[in-house]
Structure 1
């Protein structure tokens, strides 16, 4: 699943592109897609959850035995 930070960044980039284009149809589509991404990001937790490292048992003693 994509995280909130990623979706928000993508929406922001789409809005930036929409502001720079002179094509009004393209701008409208970019704004619409940005709104879709924002609606996907809103219900997600604020902090993205990355993959967790597995628990690792350290060997006993300096020789690893």
Structure 2
């Protein structure tokens, strides 16, 4: 499953396409797709790398 960052970037791309076109039907399709990707990104896991757990040495 794609991560949150990927889905957010794809949604932003569809919004740019919607703003760039002059055909209202095509713009509506792009907006629908952006909304779908935005909803999926809210449910997607965050794929950011996480620092490993580090145990403190005993003194």
TM-score where L is the length of structure 1: 0.69
How many residues end up aligned between the 2 structures? Answer: 49
Q: Any runs of at least 4 consecutive aligned residues in structure 1 with deviations exceeding 4 A, and if so which? A: none
Structure 1, unmatched stretches of 5+, are: 51-65
Higher relative contact order (CA 8 A, sep 6+): 2
TM-score where L is the length of structure 2: 0.75
RMSD over aligned CA atoms reads 1.5
Larger radius of gyration: 1
Instruction: Give 1 or 2: higher helix fraction.
Output: 2
